[in-house]
Amino acid sequence: MSIDMIGMPDLGRLDEVTRALAANAERNDRTADFPADGIRVVHQAGLLTATVARRYGGPGGGLADTARILGALGCGDPSVALISAMTMFTHAAQAAAPTWPDDVYLAALAESAAGPVLINALRVEPELGTPARGGLPKTVASRTGDGWEITGRKIFSTGAEGLRFMAVWARADEAEPRAGSFLVRNDAPGITIERSWDHLGLRASRSDDVTFDATPAVAAVLDAPPDSAVSLTAWNSLGLSALYLGVASAAREWLIKFLSERAPASLGAPLATLPRFQHAVGEIESALGSAADLVDAVARRVDDGDEAAVTRAPAVKLIATRAAIGAVEQALALTGNNGLSRKNPLERHYRDVLCSRVHTPQDDSITLAAGRAAFTRWQTVDEHR
């Protein structure tokens, strides 16, 4: 496969892509329809396949580049960004530790030359919740004569109606069941997508329910490398942190414009001339800039193979997403009714940025792990005193 078949990402077009996505973000939020136009924009800029490995003819983009891309997409339309992120993370995982059969993966890449090929891992279930907290899935993969078939239900399946490939987390119907991913194409029989997503934010992400009824899988991934989950957590933590910092950046830009143009008659000058607002915007600038620098620095360390940075990534997510939420909350406090009005985008940015809390790893898991590690470290040091 040649690199021309996949297409090279043009990072110089990120501002253009952001503007194109932003032009339809408000409409997408109101209709909550799948943002096909936005996905095409991302695909045409070569961004969906930016993390395809060089050995497959791709550009081999790392986490730092991915964070930069997702920050730009999140600033434009975070629903488009989240759908895109799932595909980019899948290619990155395949680059780091291949698990897809070559023929299936190469076919997906060949198809990507003609149009967007979206991929996502479907893992969350009604009974189990997020698998990051443990347990076996209820979704079952059963042996057939020449492969596997899947039966079960997944919820919060981002981009469901637009996915070409679904990596369905299921347990094999075996005496000692193993859990793994089973690759399913969207044109396989027995798939039902229920339009269940009616959310506060990221409404166009169409994170709907998907039901499988004896649906054939094209491949099974039952023995993933042991460190793949850790690496994916780092990509998820830092990539999605950048996405939500992008949302907060869009809120900041609207705030600056609003304060620069709003001139109450009693003041006779724009609100931006008042020290109170200058200080407040300065706090937002400092918080978002520092968080973005932290995400970029740790992402670059992950790209360089720094294991400490991989371990540190969830804590960076905690810091960055809190900074993003805090910035938008502060913008709302400064603008009052204008900020909460649906005629302005700030209330949409607030609804969207709040969604940062639900992504794995979640805040309580991050702080619990960090706290336990700190106590373990202290005990180890104390034993050697």
Going from the C-alpha of 233 to that of each of 65, 278, 366, the distances in angstroms are 17, 37, 11
Inside any domain, residue 186 = yes
Q: Helix (H) and strand (E) counts for the chain?
A: 12, 8
- Residue ending a domain, among 221, 236, 269, is 221
CATH number of the domain residue 342 falls in: 1.20.140.10
* pLDDT at residue number 3: 42
pLDDT along the chain (385 residues), means of 10: 60 94 98 98 96 94 97 98 98 93 94 95 83 77 93 97 97 88 97 97 98 96 67 93 98 98 94 97 98 98 95 97 98 96 97 96 92 88 66
Are 18 and 91 part of one and the same domain?
yes
Are 160 and 259 part of one and the same domain?
no
Inside any domain, residue 381 = no
Q: Encode pLDDT of 87-126 as tens digits.
A: 999 999 999 989 999 999 999 999 998 999 999 999 999 9
Are 234 and 355 part of one and the same domain?
yes
Inside any domain, residue 28 = yes
Q: How many domains does the chain have?
A: 3
Are 79 and 137 part of one and the same domain?
no
Is the peptide bond between 361 and the residue preceding it cis, with omega within 30 degrees of 0? yes
Which tokens go with 264?
């109450």
Inside any domain, residue 384 = no
pTM reported for the whole predicted model: 0.94
Q: Is 149 helix (H, G, I), strand (E, B) or coil?
A: strand
Are 145 and 83 part of one and the same domain?
no
Inside any domain, residue 134 = yes
CATH number of the domain residue 48 falls in: 1.10.540.10
CA gap 358, 11 in Å, rounded: 29
Are 75 and 249 contacting, i.e. CB atoms less than 8 angstroms apart?
A: yes
Kindly write down the DSSP assignment for every residue of 9-65, as one continuous string. --GGGHHHHHHHHHHHHHHHHHH----HHHHHHHHHTT-TTTT--GGGTS----HHH
Are 237 and 346 part of one and the same domain?
yes
* CA geometry: angle 258, 261, 267, nearest 5 deg: 110
